[in-house]
Amino acid sequence: MASALLLLPDRNLHGHDYSGAFLPQAEKFEEFLTDNYPQLDVYRQEIDISQGFRNSRKQVLESIYGQEQLALMAFLCHGEEEWLQLGFTDSSIGLVADAVDGRAASYLHIAIYACSTAKDEEPGPGIAEGLAIALGKIGCTGHVDGHANLGHATVNPNVIRFSFDPQGVEQEWLVDPNDDSHFAQWQRLLRRTDLRFRYTMERTRERVLEYVVNSKKAKLLAPLTY
């Protein structure tokens, strides 16, 4: 069977970031995958962040080494354009691709539920784009979804998709913030429904927009309380 790997820290760092956001959202994501994708073996791995940045990275890579036919990987943690809380910077994010090499399914979905990892970084690519580039170079096909700004881990609507394959990387807004006909509804659905998880499982933005236009396709979730 193909596998899904959900990665998150194991404790609060700032306020109730783990207990109030990362953990409950990871649990809901796991439930969503179990209910809708029975063909996936879902693994939720909490990373011990008490031993430092390098040790966190080692744990993430070891978690990836244990996968076969990896179809989905999600990071639920803090981040910025040049770093990810679970042990990576823009110069080391390629190690994730090295670990994935030979373990990925034919199409790899990656969601980075962290702030600003899709934001443009000068002079080079940020975390999300850098990971997409590295995965394309090892022959993988798929996409990396990341957030362009600060916001809630799973309901931030400013999502940029980096689609990758051996020929290169293309980027686009999943739902353009300047799209007056769709963006407000997209924001509402992310807060109220499972579209916050469903979007990264869809391979094209056209499919995501189908859910935005026909909101009845998305399942209502309990309101956010954090």
- The pLDDT assigned to 224 comes to 52
| Omega cis (within 30) before 123 | yes
75-95 residue pLDDT tens? 999 999 999 999 999 999 999
Amino acid letter, residue 174: L
* Rounded Cα–Cα distance for residues 44 and 7 (Å): 6
pLDDT digits (tens, 9 = 90+) for 157-209: 999 999 999 999 999 999 999 998 999 999 999 999 999 999 999 999 999 99
- Predicted confidence at residue 226, as pLDDT, reads 39
* CA dist., res. 224 & res. 151, Å (int): 14
Q: List Cβ<8 Å contacts ≥24 apart for 168-177.
A: 168/136, 169/129, 169/132, 169/133, 169/136, 171/129, 172/205, 173/205, 174/145, 174/199, 174/205, 174/208, 175/205, 175/208, 175/209, 175/212
Position 219 confidence tier, pLDDT thresholds 50, 70, 90: confident
Query: pLDDT tens-digit profile of 131-153?
Result: 999 999 999 999 999 999 999 99
- Which pLDDT band holds residue 103 (cuts at 50, 70, 90)? very high
25-65 per-position pLDDT tens digit: 999 999 999 999 999 999 999 999 999 999 999 999 999 99
Query: Angle at Cα 77 formed by Cα 155 and Cα 207, nearest 5°?
Result: 40
Whether domain 2-176 has CATH 3.40.50: the reply is: yes
Q: Confidence class of residue 223 from pLDDT cuts 50, 70 and 90? A: low
The DSSP output letter for 222 is P
Report the alpha-carbon distance of residue 147 to residue 113 in Å, rounded: 7
Tokens of 153: 């881990």
Other beta carbons within 10 angstroms of residue 123's beta carbon come to: 4
